[in-house]
């Protein structure tokens, strides 16, 4: 079977291999069969191993849904009665976490910090001092809207020193940047299958400490479908999700996991890094400027400032690239005009070289002068 190859430079779903796409084509199976539960058990173990967690101490809880569901599940399930969450907000995804708290009416402190630099432990410590009832500290590891990386170890250590658990959204770094859950002082992290793992959409997972999951049994149940303890307990009891799992997506994730181990943690990170380097090089050659200082980037997303050129029209440039099989993505940071190029997915340097040829032609077609110009 020939499947047309598309190059996705958006921040997920990512470009996948054909072997992962085809892994979805399996004989029909009822997900309540033991055969399917065994597949999920192996997948859950492997998901923990990706972040170097010991299987006795950590487990993975799968959900049918996109990554936001995991944010929802963690925030609504891991806060004891009368306690407060601290949301470290320096980007669009942590702003979403604060919004989830508002939807559930969860007591929380929203610590708003500049979106263009890593969260500082000093600011977080000040907030923890001011709110001693804080039981959960939440931060986004890689803010996908800007490409910014937050310091997990520093934030996790602080959370623990102040008697809180540390929950981090690793949706856009998991299975790409090497990460050790214990060494980074993480209690819970999360991701979805279609980003770093290069699987399909519709399967997401929370990875976290078993003892804290057990402790959360008595916490208020604020959601019926997204309760973390309930899903965990169902997996422990039956090996299954409580409700219907995304069957074919699970098979694709299992194949994606095979390919993850075949490429290896170091090899995969090296590939994402050389793809990102090719993105930086291509942008520089055209005169583009990035929003976030290079050393503060996670090395997976470039948020690029739109040029000050009346001919610049993101939609037109996007459409011209899309016709050639390449997808670029708009920005996500308040008023600053940006677009994004991402190094997720099954890509390598030649894909980016091909992209920049197409991108350059699209700029010419739109009449954008190169090198691109900025007023400041």
Query: Which residues in this chain contact ligand PLP in the complex, by CB under 6 A?
Result: 11-12, 66-68, 93, 140, 144, 169, 171-172, 192
- In the DSSP assignment, the letter for residue 14 is P
Give the residue from 282, 299, 365, 362 showing the smallest Cα distance to 325. 362
Give the C-alpha separation, 109 to 127, whole Å: 8
Per DSSP bridges, beta strands 84-89 and 134-140 are parallel
Give the C-alpha separation, 200 to 303, whole Å: 24
Tell me the closest approach of the beta carbon of residue 29 to ligand PLP, in angstroms: 26
Q: Which is nearer to ligand PLP, 78 or 368 (CB)?
A: 78
Distances (CA, A) of 45 to 38, 257, 263, 328: 11, 11, 18, 34
Residue with nearest beta carbon to ligand PLP: 67
Tell me the closest approach of the beta carbon of residue 140 to ligand PLP, in angstroms: 5
**Tokens encoding 173:** 């770094």
Q: Which is nearer to ligand PLP, 169 or 187 (CB)?
A: 169
Distances (CA, A) of 188 to 7, 181, 263: 32, 8, 26
Q: Which is nearer to ligand PLP, 68 or 249 (CB)?
A: 68
The DSSP secondary structure of 18-37, one letter per residue, reads HHHHHTT------TTSHHHH
> Could you count the other beta carbons within 10 Å of the beta carbon of residue 66?
18
Q: Which residue in this structure is represented by tokens 């008697």?
A: 163
Please name the residues in contact with 126: beta carbons below 8 A apart, sequence gap of 6 or more. Answer: none
Q: Which is nearer to ligand PLP, 59 or 140 (CB)?
A: 140
**Tokens encoding 209:** 């400490």
The DSSP secondary structure of 209-251, one letter per residue, reads EHHHHHHGGGS----SSS-HHHHHHHHHHHSS-SS---HHHHH
Tell me the closest approach of the beta carbon of residue 150 to ligand PLP, in angstroms: 10
Tell me the closest approach of the beta carbon of residue 130 to ligand PLP, in angstroms: 26
Tell me the closest approach of the beta carbon of residue 45 to ligand PLP, in angstroms: 23
Q: Which is nearer to ligand PLP, 96 or 222 (CB)?
A: 96
Q: Which is nearer to ligand PLP, 65 or 282 (CB)?
A: 65
**Residue 180 CA neighbour count, 13 Å, CB half:** 5
Q: Which is nearer to ligand PLP, 109 or 194 (CB)?
A: 194
Tell me the closest approach of the beta carbon of residue 81 to ligand PLP, in angstroms: 27
Q: Which is nearer to ligand PLP, 304 or 372 (CB)?
A: 304
Q: In this structure, are residues 141 and 167 in contact, taking their beta carbons and an 8 Å threshold? A: no
Tell me the closest approach of the beta carbon of residue 93 to ligand PLP, in angstroms: 4
Tell me the closest approach of the beta carbon of residue 99 to ligand PLP, in angstroms: 12
Please name the residues in contact with 147: beta carbons below 8 A apart, sequence gap of 6 or more. Answer: 290, 291, 292, 297, 298, 300, 301, 302, 303, 340
Q: Which is nearer to ligand PLP, 39 or 66 (CB)?
A: 66
Tell me the closest approach of the beta carbon of residue 70 to ligand PLP, in angstroms: 8
């Amino acid at each position: 079977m020939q499947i047309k190859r598309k190059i996705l430079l958006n921040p997920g779903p990512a470009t996948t291999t054909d072997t992962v796409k085809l892994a979805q084509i399996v004989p029909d199976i009822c997900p309540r069969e033991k055969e399917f539960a065994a597949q999920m058990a192996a997948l859950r173990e492997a998901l923990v191993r990706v972040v170097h967690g010991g299987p006795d101490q950590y487990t993975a809880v799968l959900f049918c849904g996109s990554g936001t569901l995991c944010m929802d599940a963690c925030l609504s399930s891991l806060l004891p009665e009368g306690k407060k969450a601290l949301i470290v907000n320096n980007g669009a995804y942590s702003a979403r976490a604060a919004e989830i708290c508002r939807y559930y009416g969860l007591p929380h402190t929203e610590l708003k910090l500049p979106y263009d630099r890593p969260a500082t432990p000093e600011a977080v410590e000040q907030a923890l001092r001011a709110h001693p009832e804080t039981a959960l500290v939440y931060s986004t590891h890689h803010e996908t809207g800007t490409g910014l990386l937050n310091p997990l170890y520093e934030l996790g250590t602080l959370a623990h020193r102040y008697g809180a658990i540390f929950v981090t959204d690793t949706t856009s770094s998991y299975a790409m940047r090497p990460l050790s859950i214990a060494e980074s002082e993480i209690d819970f992290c999360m991701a979805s299958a279609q980003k770093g793992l290069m699987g399909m959409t519709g399967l997401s997972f929370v990875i976290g400490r078993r003892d804290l999951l057990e402790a959360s049994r008595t916490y208020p149940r604020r959601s019926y479908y997204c309760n973390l303890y309930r899903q965990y307990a169902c997996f422990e009891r039956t090996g299954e999700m409580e409700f219907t799992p995304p069957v074919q997506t699970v098979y694709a994730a299992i194949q994606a996991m095979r390919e993850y181990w075949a490429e290896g943690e170091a090899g995969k990170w090296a590939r994402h890094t050389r793809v990102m380097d090719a993105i930086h090089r291509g942008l520089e050659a055209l005169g583009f400027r990035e929003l976030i200082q290079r050393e503060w980037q996670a090395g997976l997303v470039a948020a690029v400032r739109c040029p000050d050129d009346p001919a610049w029209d993101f939609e037109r440039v996007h459409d011209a690239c899309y016709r050639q099989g390449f997808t670029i993505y708009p920005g996500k940071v308040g008023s600053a005009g940006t677009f994004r190029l991402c190094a997720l997915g099954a890509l390598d340097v030649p894909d980016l070289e091909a992209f920049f040829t197409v991108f350059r032609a699209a700029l010419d077609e739109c009449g954008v002068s190169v090198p691109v110009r900025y007023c400041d």
